[in-house]
Structure 1
């Protein structure tokens, strides 16, 4: 009886906020699936969700007492579920096809960009370490998904995560449009088509950015940029995505043992990101099931199950993005936004220049 009452209380306290976020999610998916809008903007539902959430944030703060529980549930619980389900987008087979040099490129990119983010963010741009870590993770690994995963581990204030996601969205979109144009006009010298694909995968922020850039490059070049090059771009990007697991574990370890961060550790009790193991487990499951796509399991095709996993992942991530957008505090965002975007711009330049030089150095091995 008490369990039933507890469940009813949970539903009643969360339902209004959850439905409010759900409305934003519905509109975001609707806009992202309008062909004319997609061809013009190449914006995914995640981008629409955060923009709509930020636009409607005054409503959230006005009715925060009523909406907060459901919005917080979407921003925290559904976020972690989305990160776990993100593993349905990756297989070890795909990662293996690009070889050890792809792993080396990914590790160098992630480590260099992340450490530059911390040093420059704190020393040059005057940002706090948490914000610098979030922007660095988003730029170095896999965009908004990395920001959200790290934010969940650090338990930082929501506006810091939303600033970091904002920078990822802006510079990821810029790269998505500029890379295909640079390829078309011959502004990426000394790299063949496949190497340009590696360059895209090594330096663009989001998986969606890589897919969008590759498709636009194919369209602009009328097939000169091949599907194989597009596949290499996506596979290398997936390598960066899977690096999220060891990154979260190492980040948690070093922060917990950093004497200079003792006050933060004592105050926030940084938790082990167990959802990272869930993410890795889903990658293993996806790798195994991908070899049996034509099989039937419990009356349902394996391919349908995998597609459902990807869809559920997208829904959870979009819910989290919308909820984080709603929690944006415009005054705080504007107060710190300039420094955050300045750091993100620096990291974007580091990604472009460093990624190009790395691709040039390894072009004969991949």
Structure 2
């Protein structure tokens, strides 16, 4: 670095090896004012980030960026490095956030929410399609069935959930019967408490309560299991071995849910009816035999079939959402918790939404 006739010529290597020497030379020229006409960097040799930071200190980041853009004889890698260091050292004031009115802020948040929901629907639709495509490949080939994983998933999703489903539906059946007896007593129609309990559990409560319990209990477990595997890079190992994670992890869980939820729905219907029958026997003097006779006379088989028909659809979507959220987990434990919560919320929401749509459909069809 030399100063001749008011022009500062920068030459030689500006690297970490010569940092102390260069730092002393830069200190000698500190405080002087330079411009692009009085700086010559054509003879600049090798440069690294340490040397570039000294050049920025000597000339100023703005002047260094201007020289880098003006001087075309420098290698492109050198120019890019100097420009990047100059940009990083420039003191650019951060723009002030735009102040939004309450209406604009509400519309902005609404737009973000709608966009997020659309993105979730888009991902779920693609994942459902991938599951169906994998099923179409695996099911015709019995050698590719993973029976052990399937049976283990049935035990976890169905058998272990049986007591809590039976207890909850029994208690809800008792509550519905109490409610019906209280309301219908004013009309002298307490006998119709049997119809109320039977209709509600065969068509709605049996499948809905079982699905919500599995959404909270099993979908979260699927997300946590697959998410932990992703955090531990086990999914990458599975792909490295030439295996398909959807076939290995998702298909057994989806099929197990589609077997478990109809069974749990049936158990929930029976438990709810038992709870209602117990309340009718205690409070309304309707014996279990009379309870069953009224059901046989007034309740058609189609109500049972309507409730059971929803179970496989709910099971498929709950399992798909739980597995999809597991695959979306990032590389931290916090991400596992966030997506586990998201899978539970999404599963319960989709179950209630589809149940409402199905109720309207069956009502319009006269079923």
TM-score by length of 2: 0.30
Largest Rg, 1 or 2: 2
